[in-house]
Amino acid sequence: MRFFGLSRPSSAVFVWGLLLITASLIGCGGGGGGGGVSDTPSPTPTPSPSTTPPATRYVAAGFDLVWSARSRAADSPLIPAPASATSARVTLREAGEDGGDVSVLVRRRTNTTTSYSEHVTFARLVRVGDDLTLEARFFGDPDGAGIPVATGSGTVSVRGDGTGIGTISTASRIASVTVPADQSVPVGESVEIRFEARDASGALIPVPPGAAFFTVSPADVSRLGIFNGTQANGLLPGSASVMVTIDGVSSDLTALMVRSNAQVTLTPSTTVLPVLSQVLFSAQVTNAPSQHVTYTIREGASGGSITTEGVYTAPSRIGTFQVDAVSVYDPTKSASAVVTVKPRLTISPEAATLTLREQRAFVATVIGSSDTSVAWSVQEGPVGGTVTLDGVYTAPAAPGIYHLTAVCNADSSVQTIITITVQAGSGTVIIE
């Protein structure tokens, strides 16, 4: 805001944070006197001292108000008013004819964001004098309500001949600006970015969106644009860092997410694998120009490995792990699958053909568990033969197809079954 005298505005010098005001004289006058004629000159009479004090005079005073552009805070001494202000209340204390304050509220025009000036005159006459206190408060609210964004006060002069210039220093009350990080911008849409301005005590200062200047990190301009100076326009999905400046006070760069309506699905969504086994995952991306995804294992290398084509290899340890598929087009969109890795149990040999009452020793191998013991059984019961705790199987007296089962003692859900064919004929005992 810039204030200067009505009688000589071209001579005023303006600096940031200064308000200048000049009073203009509305009209005043003086009186005269007369005398008689005598033959004898008489001495000029000496006027007696007056005991009546001079009358207090009141004049119309006004000022020119200069609004700064609604953009980055003023960095020029020719723009003294804060960009965040939409109204200003200027007051001359105890300067009215009734001894009260004389005040005027000035609203910024809503149809322009550029700098402009306007002449404002107090609606009431103000007292002539050298000891007037002028106060100015700037508000983000157009009606001069709430906490001021800037204030200033000082002693000014209003002289009877219409001259007199006073200056006051003003200072912004905004001490910090922050941008809440929980914001997102949809691709192809424009939204207002929320921000907060606070004074030194931490009190929230209402500031209209038009008073803020938004800056997008140069590395993120392909993802986020600024439209109309106040709105963020989503261009490409991903993270984009934004900084907000109000009256020269800037926030930290804050990451906002630009989101699309893309969706990712991953199949299978759940699977159970023995250690060191493999499974192929397939990802599908809808509502996106690209089907490409990036596969990762949330637990890192300890959770196994996965190729760019989605081939997952389980680790050598048991556990539950998670595979993530993230859209390359929109990294905020992903799908997950749960992999349960269990011990691997194998029986050697994997099959056998025996004669009646023939014996064969089988070996069970457990990988992925510290407990490598198993429980042996014949699926058909005694009619299918017998098996010892050490895995020695004896064929029954009747030919047929039978099944030998080994169950992992560490995890009873893990078992392996092999087929044994028993043929008629004399048998031999083979113990391996």
The CATH T-level fold of domain 176-259 is: Immunoglobulin-like (2.60.40)
The answer to whether 204 touches 198, Cβ cutoff 8 Å, is yes
Label the pairing between strands 190-192 and 415-423: unpaired
Q: How far is 92 from 104, CA to CA, in rounded Å?
A: 9
> Which CATH number is 345-430 given?
2.60.40.1080
Note down pLDDT in tens along the chain; length 432 residues.
434 333 333 333 233 344 444 433 333 333 333 333 334 344 555 555 555 667 888 878 777 677 766 644 333 322 246 778 889 999 999 999 999 999 999 998 888 777 888 888 888 999 998 888 888 899 988 899 888 888 888 888 887 765 565 566 778 889 999 999 989 999 989 899 999 999 999 999 988 777 788 999 999 999 999 877 778 999 999 899 999 998 889 999 999 999 999 999 999 999 999 999 999 999 999 999 999 999 999 999 999 999 999 999 999 999 999 999 999 999 889 999 999 999 999 999 999 999 999 999 999 999 999 999 999 999 999 999 999 999 999 999 999 999 999 999 999 999 999 999 999 976 554 545
Q: How far is 225 from 253, CA to CA, in rounded Å?
A: 15
Q: Based on DSSP, count helices (H) and strands (E) in the chain, helices before strands.
A: 0, 40
Amino acid identity at 241: S
* 375: its two tokens: 């429980």
Label the pairing between strands 293-297 and 305-306: unpaired
Exposure pattern of 193-217 as b/e (b: 16+ CB <10 Å)? bebbbbbeeeeebebbbbbbbbebb
Per-residue pLDDT at 48: 54
* E strand residue ranges, 75-212: 87-93, 102-107, 116-121, 126-127, 129-139, 148-158, 165-172, 176-178, 184-186, 190-192, 196-198, 204-205
Q: Do you find a cis peptide bond into 349, omega within 30 degrees of 0?
A: yes
Q: How far is 168 from 155, CA to CA, in rounded Å?
A: 7
Q: How far is 410 from 416, CA to CA, in rounded Å?
A: 14
Closest CA to 126 of 25, 2, 52, 29: 25
Residues 6+ positions from 403 with CB-CB distance below 8 Å = 378, 379, 380, 384, 417, 418, 419, 420
Question: 263-342, which class in CATH?
Answer: mainly beta
Amino acid identity at 204: L
SS3 string, 353-414, reads EEECCCEEECEEEEECCCCCCEEEEECCHHHHCEECCCCEEECCCCCEEEEEEEEECCCCCC
Question: 9-26+57-172, which class in CATH?
Answer: mainly beta
Domain coordinates of the chain in residue numbers? 9-26+57-172, 176-259, 263-342, 345-430
Residue with tokens 């002069």: 157
CA distances from 419 to 351, 362, 386, 407 (A): 5, 12, 14, 15
Q: How far is 357 from 219, CA to CA, in rounded Å?
A: 79
* 24: its two tokens: 């203009």
